[in-house]
């Protein structure tokens, strides 16, 4: 049984920084991948950033490159998303996703991921 819980979402001003966390419990595996997606009202899930469990590969949406950083802690129980220079278009519900199956690269496709957190709201005022 796998459970993902996001935390850290809040209301911030444009230009501010925020760090999201995704705590994973259960049999999360050791050779899969994790990713962050976000969803604005009326829109589909949008890939934001992802990382393989061995930390050798990361992938970012073009809209967040240079501003966001995805990482895993050493025990690989928590994934983080450091968000800097936040813009109003970054607002939305952010979801943590996990695929425990072996993978060597990060996928942008929501269908790749088996487990999902319930999401956390990030609001950015301008």
Query: Mean pLDDT of all residues in the chain?
Result: 93
Rounded to an integer, what distance in angstroms lies between the CA atom of residue 72 and that of residue 123?
24
Classify residue 83 as left (phi > 0), alpha (psi -120 to 50) or beta: beta
Q: What is the pLDDT of residues 72-115, one digit of tens each?
A: 986 767 999 999 999 999 999 999 999 999 888 999 999 999 99
Residue 34: which of 96, 83, 119 has the closest Cα? 96
Pair type for strands 120-125 and 11-13 = parallel
pLDDT of residue 76: 63
Stretch 59-84: mean pLDDT, rounded? 92
Question: Which residues sit opposite 97 in a β-bridge?
Answer: 35, 116
Rounded to an integer, what distance in angstroms lies between the CA atom of residue 25 and that of residue 27?
7
Stretch 24-53: mean pLDDT, rounded? 92
Q: Is the pLDDT of residue 28 over 90?
A: no
pLDDT of residue 95: 98
Cα separations in angstroms, 88 against 11, 12, 21, 123: 11, 10, 20, 8
**The tokens 């994790």 sit on which residue?**
34
* DSSP reduced 3-state for 56: coil
């Amino acid at each position: 049984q796998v459970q993902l819980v996001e935390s850290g979402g809040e209301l911030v001003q444009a230009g501010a920084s925020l760090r999201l966390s995704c705590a994973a419990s259960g049999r999360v595996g050791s050779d899969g991948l994790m990713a962050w997606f976000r969803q604005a009202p009326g829109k589909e899930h949008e890939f934001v950033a992802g990382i393989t469990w061995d930390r050798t590969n990361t992938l970012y949406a073009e809209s967040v490159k240079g501003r966001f950083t995805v990482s895993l802690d050493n025990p690989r129980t928590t994934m983080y998303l450091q968000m800097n220079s936040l813009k109003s278009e970054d607002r939305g519900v952010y979801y943590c996703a996990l695929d425990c199956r072996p993978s060597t690269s990060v996928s942008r496709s929501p269908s790749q991921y088996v487990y999902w957190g319930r999401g956390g709201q990030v609001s950015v005022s301008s």
